[in-house]
Amino acid sequence: MSEKIKARFIGSGTLILGDVTIEDGCWIGYYCLLDGLNAPLIIKEKSVIASFAAIYTHNTMWRDIEMGKKIIAKVVIGKNVHIGHGAVIVPKRDGELTIGDHVIIHANAVVSDNIPPWHIYTRDGKCLPIKK
């Protein structure tokens, strides 16, 4: 395993492609896609990515229908983040997409923009603060 991959668990069937850093204590489920082929993907310590989740550093939808270009963004997943089963993280603009520390992303949610720390992102796109 690479020096950049320090997860405590990575489930079988998970693909880790390109420039991916996974810090200590992370748990990565089965059959996930962690795509750092186009830009760096950083997953900070103690985060959990449930099975079948996908994190992309690019988005080709507008290029594919001949209405734009390929979008490329560095993706940073903060500390103690929970990404639910089947969630997809895909940037909608060039630059950087950041998921703050202590964020919960519901199962099957599609995230394409930054989420501030201490928030819950729901499957229907709502970003709600976590009350401490």
Tell me: the pLDDT tens digits for 32-60? 999 999 999 999 999 999 999 999 999 99
- Which backbone phi and psi does 36 adopt, to 5 degrees? -110, 30
pLDDT-derived band at 117, boundaries 50, 70, 90: very high
* Residue 4 per-residue DSSP state: T
* CB-facing half-sphere around the CA of 129: CA atoms within 13 A: 2
- Cβ neighbours for 64, distance < 8 A, ≥ 6 positions apart: none
